[in-house]
Amino acid sequence: MKGIILSLLLMLSLEGHAQTKVTTKVAKLGYVSSMFAQLYSGPNRDMEIYTTLECGHPVKILSRSDGKTEEMIFGRGWYLIKAAGHEGFVQARFVSESKVTDCFNQQYPKYYDALNLTISEMYYWGRLKNVYNYGESKAVGDNL
């Protein structure tokens, strides 16, 4: 008898979880504001990188809702976006809500095109930009 009751309770609890549906929708349009930014599979720099985006590239900033709360910023400053055929995460500091006009590749297109950057080079420059920590040094010491 106890087994039947526990089985019924388990089935009811699983049914309740199945009804919670997470929806994703476009919240606003944004633009990549860094020379290169990388699109990750999760809100963490250690996650898989899907692709590298160039400055000025338009992105769709997405929000997720479970019916109770709506979330647009994930982790510590990450947007969930859709761009270049992928859906993933990019650091919010590399996305502007207004069209970017001061991109190096837009200001100096002939020079930029003459660089003939391969996708691998764009990846590594973007990776360097993403792992660089902005702000003041966190070093502690007497003579620093």
CATH, residue 97: 2.30.30.40
* Cβ-contact 22, 66 below 8 angstroms: yes
DSSP 51: E
- Rounded Cα gap, residues 116 and 122, in angstroms: 10
Give pLDDT, residue 117.
87
Residue 81 lies in a domain: yes
CB-based contact 76:133 (threshold 8 Å): no
**Count of domains forming the chain:** 1
Q: Which domain holds residue 54?
A: 21-131
Tens-level pLDDT at each residue, the chain (144 residues): 666 655 555 555 555 555 578 888 899 999 999 999 999 999 988 899 999 999 999 999 998 888 777 787 777 789 999 998 999 999 999 999 999 999 988 888 898 888 898 888 888 888 887 776 665 556 666 555
**Under 8 Å between Cβ of 83 and 69:** no
Q: What's the pLDDT at 134?
A: 60
* CA-based torsion, 79, 81, 87, 90: positive or negative: negative
Kind and range of the H or E element at 81? strand 78-83
